[in-house]
Structure 1
Amino acid sequence: MPLVVPGINSSMGNKTDWANKLMGKKITEASADMNSFAKRDLPESHRILRPGDMATRDHKPERLNIHLGEDDTVRDVNYG
């Protein structure tokens, strides 16, 4: 099986791309303005984590993790 590195030899994109698209925005069902991003436009393998949410510790390199702040805006993104 070949090595897959997100954003280098795959089409998943990279953390910087997603951070630029999402940081400071709210995730909504349908994007209504410049301060939100529609869930349907996220990669198929993603999860949204709010403060205090339980999360599995399994590592899936293709999964985009979206970390929200107390005000439900995106504070960080990473793969895993």
Structure 2
Amino acid sequence: METIIFDGDDGIQLEFGILEQTRVNGHNYLLVVDPDEEDEEEGSEAYILKDISEEEDEEACYVFVEDDTEYDAVFKVFETMLEDVEFVK
């Protein structure tokens, strides 16, 4: 599984496994999980990250999607893309 390093607000680096990526309304999104917290019975908690970087930026800059409307819309896209994966919201 490909991973991404995310710099948290408190300066701690978090590593996430990338399950899928998509583009919605001109923005790139990643569906990620914490690979260290996988539970065989309950699975992993998934997060949606949004790329807010500008074209001239050398590296992508991601933030957690916190807006409920945006989250729900992007979540539905990922749910369709990953039909064989059961999501608990």
TM, length-normalised to structure 1: 0.22
- As a proportion of its length, which structure holds more helix? 2
- As a proportion of its length, which structure holds more strand? 2
